[in-house]
Amino acid sequence: MEENRKRYKETFAQALEISAEEAETAEFQKTEKWDSIGHMMLIAALEEAFSVEFEPEEMLTFDSFGKGIGLLQEKGIAI
Amino acid sequence: MSVISVKFAVFLLLAAVLYYTAPSRWRWKILLAESLCFYLICSVRAILFFCITAVSIWYAALRMDRINEEYPKELAACEAEGKKMTRQEKLELKAREDKQKRKILLLLLALNFGILFFIKYGEIPCRILNGVCAALQIGYELEYGGVMVPLGISYYTFQATGYLIDIYRRKMRAQRSLPRLTLFFVFFPQLVQGPISRYDELADQLYRPHDFCFRNIRSGVELMAWGLFKKLVISDRIAIMINAIFGAPEKYGGCYLLFATVFSMLQLYTDFSGGIDMMRGAAEIFGIYPPENFVRPFFARDQSEYWRRWHISLNNWWRDYIFYPLTLSKTFNRLGRHARKLLGEQFGKKLPVLMAVIVIRVINSIWHGATGASILGGLYYGVLLALSFYFENTIKEATVRLRIRTDCISWRIFQTVRTFLLIAAPRLTSQAQSLSDGARYVKALFREWNPWIFFDGSLFSLGVSRAQFTVVMIALLLLFAVSLLQERGIVIRESLARQNLVFQGAVMLCFLYAVVLFGTYGSGYDASAFTYAQF
């Protein structure tokens, strides 16, 4: 669980080019690099890191660091 | 059967009476029978194509559903034996099943889009083949006899394939009953020009027996009347003027073409959204509420917002079933990685999204018409959208550095007008049949500078009198006022519903009288000519 949490934070921060601390408070359209393109890059990075696929509806509701954790939990990832 | 005809009104009335007088459990069957009847009246010779789509998608969805079922079953069987699958084993099992499903999906997509392509663009391979034969001086010419385009083929193909992809993605269970699934594909109000509904949004509404409810009838008739107003009073009158200009660019150059370009966009919107309003209104009479297809697109402040407001059901289809898979595909991301090395980190990272955006807009333009001018128009929209994505942050930073206030009305108006003009620009060549034909319009635009045509009455010589022109302008102002109120969250139909019945009736009668009085119809008018009905 801890390992997944760490991987999530690292992937998140790397995809959006922000620090791990900044990642925790990141919000779609409010964090500088988390624009429309950043969003797709973040989704691609998380799909690769956790071998999951996001549904279009999920991509649209994914707008904060915490929301991403919830979506991964729904996919059976212990995080 | 034209939607704007007495025949359709009688059909709708009879359909509603039959639906509400039938026993509850038969209602969806009645709706299916009525929809098939409508289809046969409009497109009897093309019924075979519809049957192929309905049966093939139904059967394939059931097959996929069975495969989807196997995964939890195998997991349960494993647990029953006391074994626990590792994450890797689970992924492998899922990948094996996905592979089986992918085969079915690709086959079905090829079959159904193959039919669509054959019917809509069968002439193109013939033209290419004949061109090659002529170039090689082979004395062979293939004659294309043409195929009757089945009613709503694009709309039901998109709905059906979207449904299948949703089953592939395990989003829902497959519909076991072929008649029920057929009703989802053929529901008559949305067959003519959409919207392209999703199974999980519409199916339950179709199968649920709706009891007679005056609110639904009133709401449906109001929406139909509003659609009729947009179509007959605004769109068809503007069409007369812009057809006169686009029909003779040698005669009407400069500001005439500028006027036609802007008004052509308004004409397209009022034609298409008017048609959709009528169809949604017809559906509401049965208590069925299809999704909105337009949310005041000309109020959009940037390119991506515009495409989120325009032809929403089709653009959502592109987004969910093509844009996301393309952007997230390994091929596109591999290309992105190569581009990072060659063209720099920032550009390379954004490349998959930018490419997918352009591909979608080009596919969209091919769907609208496989002509050079249309594809170039799609490329223009794609590049424009890609640029707006690419510079999204740069523009935000620039406004901060230049100390431009972005929280005031003037900035919002600037953004809205800029977006509208950029979107409207390709309408200049909307009636061009080829690239060279399109160039003719561009040349004519810059041939002369004649702004006085807006003041000296020249516009009244385009087939529309001064009085009729004034009616169009007042109608456009009314449309703008209504849109503005809706933008502010005011639902006009709900406000009207809160008034006394007599007042509601009086408003409705006045409105219908105005449509009859000011609408464009009569001899020589082709009421069936909805732009989007041809798809």
Q: What is the 3-state secondary structure (H, E, C) of B176-208?
A: CCHHHHHHHHHCHHHCCCCCCCCHHHHHHHHHC
For all residues of chain B together, what is the average pLDDT?
89
Q: What is the mean pLDDT of residues B406-419?
A: 93
> How close is the nearest chain A Cα to the Cα of B531, in Å?
30
Query: From the DSSP assignment, how many helices (H) and strands (E) are in chain B?
Result: 23, 0
Of B171, B328, B390, the CB nearest to A43: B328
CA-based nearest residue in chain B for residue A45: B328
Q: Which of B430, B454, B487 is the last residue of a domain?
A: B430
What number is the ipTM of this complex? 0.72
Closest of B373, B381, B39, B370 to residue B188, by C-alpha: B39
pLDDT band at B528 (very low <50, low <70, confident <90, very high): very low
| DSSP secondary structure, B136-148, as one string | TT----------P
Q: What is the mean pLDDT of residues B291-301?
A: 94
- Contacting B residues, span 389-428, partner chain A, CB-CB under 8 Å: 389-390, 392-393
Tokens representing residue B338 in the block: 């190569």
Chain A residues inside the 8 Å CB shell of B389: 35-37
Candidate from B134-143, B283-292, B294-303, B407-416 with smallest mean pLDDT = B134-143
Task: Based on the fold, state whether residues B319 and B372 are members of the same structural domain.
Answer: yes
Q: Is the pLDDT of residue B534 over 90?
A: no
Domains and CATH numbers, chain A: 2-74 (1.10.1200.10)
Q: Would you say residue B481 lies in a domain?
A: yes
Per cent of chain B over pLDDT 70 is: 96
- Contacting B residues, span 322-351, partner chain A, CB-CB under 8 Å: 324, 327-328, 333, 349-350
Q: Would you say residue B436 lies in a domain?
A: no
Task: Based on the fold, state whether residues B205 and B340 are members of the same structural domain.
Answer: no
Q: Per residue in B49-82, pLDDT tens?
A: 999 999 999 999 999 999 999 888 887 888 788 7
Task: Based on the fold, state whether residues B416 and B286 are members of the same structural domain.
Answer: no
Q: Would you say residue B364 lies in a domain?
A: yes
Q: Is the pLDDT of residue B148 over 80?
A: no
| pLDDT for B98 | 87
Q: Is the pLDDT of residue A73 over 60?
A: yes
Inter-chain residue contact B393 with A33, CB threshold 8 Å: yes
Inter-chain residue contact B324 with A59, CB threshold 8 Å: yes
Q: Would you say residue B89 lies in a domain?
A: yes
pLDDT band at B324 (very low <50, low <70, confident <90, very high): confident
Residue in B97, B349, B358 to test binding to A, most A beta-carbons within 10 Å: B349
Q: What is the mean pLDDT of residues B86-99?
A: 81
Task: Based on the fold, state whether residues B464 and B498 are members of the same structural domain.
Answer: yes
Q: Per residue in B443-473, pLDDT tens?
A: 988 988 889 999 988 899 888 889 999 999 9
Task: Based on the fold, state whether residues B396 and B493 are members of the same structural domain.
Answer: no
The tally of CA atoms less than 13 A away on the side-chain side of residue B321 is: 24
The kind and range of the H/E element at A41 are helix A36-50
Chain A residues inside the 8 Å CB shell of B328: 40, 43-44, 47
Q: Is the pLDDT of residue B424 over 60?
A: yes
Task: Based on the fold, state whether residues B238 and B284 are members of the same structural domain.
Answer: yes
Task: Based on the fold, state whether residues B390 and B470 are members of the same structural domain.
Answer: no
Task: Based on the fold, state whether residues B239 and B324 are members of the same structural domain.
Answer: no
Candidate from B244-248, B306-310, B326-330 with smallest mean pLDDT = B326-330
| pLDDT for B336 | 84
Q: How far is B138 from B136, CA to CA, in rounded Å?
A: 5
For chain B, the domain total comes to 3
Please give the DSSP secondary-structure letter assigned to residue B404. Answer: -
Helix axes B153-168, B199-207, angle to 10 degrees: 110
Chain B residues inside the 8 Å CB shell of A37: 349-350, 353-354, 389-390, 392
Residue numbers of the domain that contains B448? 215-290+441-535
Task: Based on the fold, state whether residues B280 and B325 are members of the same structural domain.
Answer: no
Task: Based on the fold, state whether residues B448 and B342 are members of the same structural domain.
Answer: no
Q: What is the dihedral of CA B484, B485, B491, B497, to 10 degrees?
A: -130
Q: Would you say residue B297 lies in a domain?
A: no
Chain A residues inside the 8 Å CB shell of B331: none
Q: Per residue in B206-253, pLDDT tens?
A: 999 999 998 899 999 999 999 999 999 999 999 999 999 998 888 888
Closest of A16, A17, A37 to residue A68, by C-alpha: A16
pLDDT band at B522 (very low <50, low <70, confident <90, very high): low
Inter-chain residue contact B328 with A35, CB threshold 8 Å: no
Task: Based on the fold, state whether residues B207 and B219 are members of the same structural domain.
Answer: no
Residues 6+ apart with CB under 8 A from A33: A16, A17, A18, B393
Q: How far apart are the first and last CA of chain A?
A: 5
Which residues share a beta bridge with A64? A27
| pLDDT for B535 | 61
More confident residue, B436 or B409: B409
Q: Which of B430, B461, B483 is the last residue of a domain?
A: B430
Q: Would you say residue B296 lies in a domain?
A: no
Chain B residues inside the 8 Å CB shell of A56: 319-320, 324
Q: Would you say residue B435 lies in a domain?
A: no
Residue in B85, B312, B350 to test binding to A, most A beta-carbons within 10 Å: B350
The Cβ of residue B48 has, within 10 Å, a number of other Cβ atoms equal to 10
Q: Would you say residue B114 lies in a domain?
A: yes
| pLDDT for B526 | 56
Q: Is the pLDDT of residue B381 over 60?
A: yes
> How close is the nearest chain B Cα to the Cα of A36, in Å?
7
Task: Based on the fold, state whether residues B363 and B265 are members of the same structural domain.
Answer: no
Q: Is the pLDDT of residue B363 over 80?
A: yes
Of B320, B392, B393, the CB nearest to A56: B320
Q: Which of B399, B430, B461 is the last residue of a domain?
A: B430
Q: How far is B292 from B283, CA to CA, in rounded Å?
A: 12
- Contacting A residues, span 29-68, partner chain B, CB-CB under 8 Å: 32-33, 35-37, 40-41, 43-44, 47, 51, 53, 55-56, 59
Inter-chain residue contact B349 with A32, CB threshold 8 Å: no
| pLDDT for B530 | 66
Q: Per residue in A10-62, pLDDT tens?
A: 999 988 889 888 898 999 878 877 877 788 889 988 988 898 888 877 888 89
Closest of B128, B125, B102 to residue B114, by C-alpha: B125
Q: How far is B258 from B261, CA to CA, in rounded Å?
A: 5
